[in-house]
Amino acid sequence: MDTINKPDAAPAGGRLSGHVAVVTGGSRGIGKAIASRLAQLGAAVSLCARNARALERTASELSANGATVRSQAVDVTNARDVANFIEATEKELGPITILVNNAGIGGPGFGPVHEKSEDDWQRVLDTNLKSVFLVSKTVAPSMIARGRGDIVNISSLAGKNTFAGGGIYCASKWGLQGLAGCMAEDLRAFGIRVSLVCPGSVATEFSGRGLKDPTKALTAEDVAHAVSMIVLQGPQSFLSEVQLRPVAKP
């Protein structure tokens, strides 16, 4: 099931007017903040996540604020689901110019590796890494045909650092670092920019290790600002990676 909400008056004159943005994991937290920021800049947005009710709530909120938005419950680890979602988005909103791979989970990925199950491994790697492969490869051909596009991957500083109890989660994010870096080299000749945003601890509902002091964490809006900065970069250059840290150490 998918829904599309068109406002009575869409944002006019925004710097992303005419753009179509896809945000995976867009029903809450970082994904919701990114979708809201891109919509404020004038882009039409297409959101997906597994929770249809949460998606509908987010789409309604964005629409009430003047955005053109569609939402669809999607399993981004399933190639057929992804293909249907991308096809429906381009049919209803137009060619995708911005893809934000934000879908991710943490809970099953935390804990000593020797205590984790194969199912824990599969769930985290499928959601955090395989989904990026599936969605990106589905969107890339039409971007190549038009000679432009931005693919922004939401990673983590856990993709650069190791810590006790982070084995599976870190593996997924280290893998994402490598995948995104190679994608950037594969696609830059076609005018497509592939970037990474690597935040530290963010105060959201994300199921992670928990925050010692939420007041010293990043906000979802901080990450959304970084994404907007990437997609608004001049056409002759791109920000290949943004590492985002709170000013105060937790």
Per the domain annotation, does 105 fall within a domain? yes
pLDDT tens, residue by residue, 36-78? 999 999 999 999 999 999 999 999 999 999 999 999 999 999 9
Q: What range defines the domain where residue 75 resides?
A: 2-244
What is the Cα–Cα distance from 44 to 35, expressed in whole angstroms? 9
DSSP 117-134: -HHHHHHHHIIIIIHHHH
pLDDT tens, residue by residue, 80-92? 999 999 999 999 9
* CATH code, domain carrying 211: 3.40.50.720
Contact predicate 165/110, CB 8 Å: yes
Helical (H) or strand (E) element with 169: helix 167-187
Per the domain annotation, does 218 fall within a domain? yes
DSSP label at 11?
Answer: P
Per the domain annotation, does 140 fall within a domain? yes
| Residue the block writes with tokens 């982070």 | 166
Per the domain annotation, does 249 fall within a domain? no
Per the domain annotation, does 236 fall within a domain? yes
Neighbours of 205 (CB within 10 A): 8
**Total tally of structural domains belonging to the chain:** 1
Asked if residue 5 has pLDDT above 60, the reply is: no
The alpha carbon dihedral of 76, 82, 85, 89 has a sign of positive
Residues marked active site are found at 169
pLDDT tens, residue by residue, 148-168? 999 999 999 999 999 999 999
pLDDT tens, residue by residue, 104-156? 999 999 999 999 999 999 999 999 999 999 999 999 999 999 999 999 999 99
